[in-house]
Amino acid sequence: MTGYIEVFGHGGDVETAASRFGGNAADFLDYSANINPLGPPKEVLEALQQGLHSVLRYPDPGHRGFKALLGERLGVTQEQISVGNGAAESMALILLALAPCKVGTVEPGFSEYRALARQFGAEILHTEGFEELNWKAPAEHIEQLMEKVDLLFLGQPNNPNGVQYPVETLHRLARKAEKTGTVLVIDEAFIDFIPPALRQSLAPDLNQYPHVIIIRSMTKFYAIPGLRLGYAIGHSKYIQAMTEKQVTWSVNGLALIAGEACLRSGERFELDTISQITIERTRLIQVLESYGCSVTSGEANFILVRVPEPWTAASMQEALGRRGILIRSCAMYPGLEAGHVRFAVKGAEANDRLLEVLGSVLEQSGDQDVDMASVDQGIQQGHTQHFEKIKGGKRL
Ligand X SMILES: Cc1ncc(COP(=O)(O)O)c(C=O)c1O
* DSSP classification of residue 201: -
What is the CB neighbour count within 10 angstroms for residue 128? Answer: 18
Q: Are 184 and 93 in contact (CB under 8 A)?
A: no
Pick the closer one to ligand X by CB: 135 or 311.
Answer: 135
Distance CA 156, CA 144 (A): 19
Minimum distance of ligand X from residue 121's CB (angstroms): 21
SS3 111: helix
C-alpha span between 331 and 111 (Å, rounded):
12
* Helix, strand, coil distribution of the chain in percent, nearest 5: 45, 15, 40
Shortest Å distance, C-beta 364 to ligand X: 31
Residue 219 in the binding site for ligand X (CB under 6 A): yes
- Interface with ligand X (CB under 6 A), residue from 4, 28, 110, 153: 110
Contact range with ligand X by CB under 6 A, out of 81-89, 142-150, 165-173, 319-327: 81-89
Whether the Cβ atoms of residue 332 and residue 8 lie closer than 8 Å to each other: no
Stretch touching ligand X by CB under 6 A, among 36-44, 80-88, 231-239, 287-295: 80-88
Q: Mapping DSSP to helix (H, G, I), strand (E, B) and coil, where does residue 309 land?
A: coil
Site string for ligand X, 225-264 (x = CB under 6 A): x----x----------------------------------
In this structure, what are the phi and psi dihedrals at residue 361, rounded to the nearest 5 degrees? -65, -40
Q: Which x/- pattern over 117-156 shows residues binding ligand X (rule: CB under 6 A)?
A: --------------------------------------x-
Residues paired with 127 in a beta bridge = 106
Give the range of 85-93, 163-171, 199-207, 303-311 binding ligand X by CB under 6 A.
85-93
Largest separation between any pair of C-alpha atoms in the chain? 58
The mark string for 161-200 relative to ligand X (x by CB under 6 A, - otherwise) is --------------------------x-x-----------
Quick one: which of 86, 298, 382, 393 contacts ligand X (CB under 6 A)? 86
Which chain residues interact with ligand X by CB under 6 A?
A: 10, 86-88, 110, 155, 159, 187, 189, 217, 219, 225, 230
